[in-house]
């Protein structure tokens, strides 16, 4: 449910088309008014199936900035956060 496509380089390296988004991943936004922006995932909301990206904010009517929630299907993972043991295990199983 929280999967995103991988960049061309990561697809070739890990032999996978998509992977679930984790906090710390670097991503590129492919859809919305923020198209082309690159940032790091700061939060993953499993309840509403949205992710929050560093630097992607909108202004509220009172002038304050809030993080904009993005659907994970609208982003591409460009760099993986590999400190997670579960993620490393999934990728190692798929490679061999």
Walk along the chain (96 residues) and give the pLDDT tens digit of each residue. 789 999 999 999 988 899 999 999 999 999 999 999 999 999 999 999 999 999 999 999 999 999 999 999 999 999 999 888 888 887 777 665
Query: Residue 60: what pLDDT?
Result: 94
User: Hey, CA dihedral for 69, 71, 76, 77, is it positive or negative?
Assistant: positive
Residue 58 phi/psi, 5-degree rounding, is: -130, 160
Q: What predicted TM-score, i.e. pTM, was given to this entire model? A: 0.88
Nearest to 79 by CA among 4, 34, 2: 4
Q: Structural domains in the chain? A: 3-95 (2.30.30.30)
Residue holding tokens 């994970």?
72
């Amino acid at each position: 449910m929280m999967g995103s496509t991988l960049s061309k380089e990561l697809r070739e390296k890990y032999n996978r088309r998509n992977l679930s988004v984790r906090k710390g991943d670097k991503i590129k936004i492919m859809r919305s008014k923020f198209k082309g922006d690159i940032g790091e995932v700061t939060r993953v909301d499993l309840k509403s199936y949205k992710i929050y990206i560093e630097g992607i904010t909108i202004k509220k009517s009172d002038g304050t900035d809030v993080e904009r929630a993005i659907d994970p299907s609208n982003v591409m993972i460009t760099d993986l956060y590999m400190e997670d043991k579960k993620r490393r295990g999934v990728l190692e199983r798929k490679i061999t």
